[in-house]
Structure 1
Amino acid sequence: MRGQSAIMGVLLALAVGGVVELGPRLEERVVAYQQREETVWLPSAATLKRWSFGFEGLLADLYWLRAVQYYGRRAFRPGARFEQLDALLELVTTLDPHFLAAYRFGAIFLALPPPQGAGRPDRALALLDRGIAANPEEWRLLLDKGFVLLWDVRDYAKAAEVFLQVSRHPRAPTWTWDLAAAVYARAGRREIARRIWRDRLEHGESEQVRE
């Protein structure tokens, strides 16, 4: 009996080990299958806008929900791909160029590294640039661009330039000046950082700082 129990124990351990080892592989196959099943044909943004019959806003909302669902089903899953995310976001923002949430959250979805996101900060920047062009009064889009450059691209000099642009916006909070100065210092351009801080001390929200 003891011999049989020992054999059963060994077999059980091997079975459990096999399940543990195969688990990640099975999950990857399930994810790949789900992605194949969810791949859908998307019309071009221009075509959809032309045939929207005045319901651009409603269609933008529907495709935004689709984009969020598309992202949510893939985020944090090893091996997941986000091949249609960029196209979905382009549809949304073409239908409604003032859909700020689509620009801001869409840029996060695109910029986050895998498996959290698509790992495409270049596409995130392109999306934000379109948003900035369509909504020049929205300083938050410019701020988001700066953070993508800072956190995802690691281009501190360009990020600092963008943050300085943000700080000069009439509706931007004053802390954006300090943010610009701090990132300039991180980029090794300490003289510009000192000038920004000195200007803040002497003139408050003055816009006299120039490179």
Structure 2
Amino acid sequence: MTARSPAAVLGTAALVAALLAAAVQVEAARERAYPTGEDSEESLYLRSGLALRRLTGAYNALAADVYWIRSILYYGGAKRRLARPQGPEPPPLLAAPPEEYALLYTLLDLTTTLDPRFNIAYRFGAVFLAESYPRGPGRPDLAVALLEKGLRERPDKWEYMQDIGFVHYWYDHDYRAAANWFRKAADVPGAPWWLRSLAATTLARGGDRQSSRAMWEAIRQSAEVDWLRLDAERRLGQLQALDDIDALQPSVDAFAARVGRGPADWASLVRARVLRAIPLDPSRVPYDLTPDGRVRLSPASPLWPLPDEPQRTSARTPP
């Protein structure tokens, strides 16, 4: 397969954010036009990428674009449906994909079989797959499988190695494996210098917020396209929200200890001059204050849900 031209790659990248928004608009229009009911069942009649390559012949790249657009619409539509109030509870991390995302990996696999050098499909597709439910299927294992498929086609693609490290770090919390992949990426000619520092920091302090900030800041600065940069900025905002919650909770607890009950709302703390104003998260949405006096990120915030912060681990064997 002939590599895509820079213009084609940039053109596809520029469409991604618009297509994600379009998925939401298309789904909303469908629901306005038809009575509300059970979501329609998605299906694929051809699941073999090799068979599809034979059928599309000289039009493999065009077919890959079609399946990539379908992947984006499928992912965006599922996210919107799951954003409804009282959505289902998250499944176990490595359970079979929820039915709402059941075809996502298959669509991405077809896309990258039709065009094995489709860089954006590997990188964005891995983010889609790894995203925790309900924002995604919560399948970091499939995200790694997709990126490893890309590496078999392009063994010198340090970006895929970096992305595998990122999946192990952020979603698996396997910091030894993450450091190993960052180190592999650093060894590739042309890779940025900071990957070696990131590998050392991850191995020494994996899981703490300082090392997480270093990772996301590095990704933000090196992002090839705006969508990846904006995602890194969102993650940095989540880390700031975790810091804010840690700073606010002692003030709430001290107020409750002094008056013998928890505050009814943020206004109570403002009137008592415990706080200057109602606290807002980095996206400018007020934090929630629960009836039992716990500070939480609002589900209405674009930063929701916040990432888990497990204890520093990992005795698992790196790849």
TM-score normalised by the chain length of structure 1: 0.70
In the other structure, the counterpart of 1:46 is 50
Question: 2:226 aligns to what?
Answer: none
Task: Name the amino acid aligned to 2:55.
Answer: W
Tell me which amino acid in the other structure corresponds to 2:38.
Answer: Y
User: Which residue of 1 is the match for residue 298 of structure 2?
Assistant: none
Change (3 A) 1:41 1:72: same
1:95 equivalent in alignment to 2:114: yes
Q: Which residue of 1 aligns with 2:39?
A: 34
Of 125, 129, 137 in structure 2, the residue corresponding to residue 110 of structure 1 is 129
Aligned-partner Cα distance in 1 for 2:146–2:118: 12
1:129 counterpart residue number: 148
Q: Distance in 2 between matches of 1:61 and 1:156?
A: 35
Structure 1 residue 137: deviation in Å?
Answer: 2.1
1:75 maps to which of 60, 68, 79? 79
Number of residue pairs aligned between Structure 1 and Structure 2? 158
- Picking from 165, 184, 190, the partner of 1:146 is 165
Q: Could you tell me how far 1:133 is from its partner in structure 2? A: 1.1
Gaps of 5+ in 1: 1-29, 189-211
Residue by residue over 1:154-209, the C-alpha shift from the partner in whole angstroms, topping out at 9 and shown as x without a partner, is 11001001001111111111111110010010259xxxxxxxxxxxxxxxxxxxxx
- Matches of 2:198 and 2:38, distance apart in 1: 44
Counterpart CA distance in 2 for 1:31 and 1:49 is: 37
Match of 1:57 among 54, 58, 61: 61
User: Helix, strand or coil: the match of 1:39?
Assistant: coil
Report runs of 4+ in structure 1 exceeding 6 Å deviation. Answer: none
Task: Report % sequence identity.
Answer: 42
- Give yes or no for the alignment of 1:180 onto 2:199: yes
User: Where does residue 70 of structure 2 map in the other structure?
Assistant: 66
Equivalent residue for 1:119?
A: 138
Structure 1 residues 148, 131: closer, same or farther in 2, change over 3 A? same
Aligned counterparts of 1:31 and 1:115: Cα–Cα separation in 2: 21
1:86 lines up with 2:108 in the alignment: no
Q: Give the AA of the match of 1:109.
A: F
SS in 1 for 2:105: helix
**1:124-172 CA distances to partner (integer Å, 9 max, x unpaired)?**
1100000011112221111100000000111100100100111111111
Q: CA 1:35–1:146 in structure 2 vs 1: closer, same or farther (change >3 Å)?
A: farther
Cα distance in 2 between the residues matched to 1:150 and 1:111: 11
**Structure 2 unaligned spans of 5+:** 1-34, 89-98, 208-319
Q: Who wins on radius of gyration, i.e. which is larger?
A: 1
Residues 142/32 of structure 1: CA separation in 2 closer, same or farther (3 Å cut):
farther
Instruction: Answer with 105-114 or 43-52: which moved more.
Output: 43-52
> If each structure's helix is expressed as a fraction of its own residues, which one has the higher value?
1
Q: Counterpart in 2 of 1:196? A: none
| RMSD between superposed Cα atoms in Å | 2.0
Call closer, same or farther: CA 1:55–1:177 in 2, change over 3 Å.
same
Alpha-carbon separation, structure 2, partners of 1:85 and 1:138: 23
Partner of 2:300: none
User: Is 2:46–2:52's contact at 8 Å kept on the other side of the alignment?
Assistant: no
In 1, Cα distance between equivalents of 2:37 and 2:181 = 38
In structure 2, the CA distance between the partners of 1:128 and 1:64, relative to structure 1 (3 Å rule), is same
SS in 2 for 1:33: coil
Residue matched to 2:259: none
For each residue in 1:28-47, what CA deviation from the matched residue of structure 2 results, as whole angstroms up to 9, or x when unmatched? xx9982242x3343341111
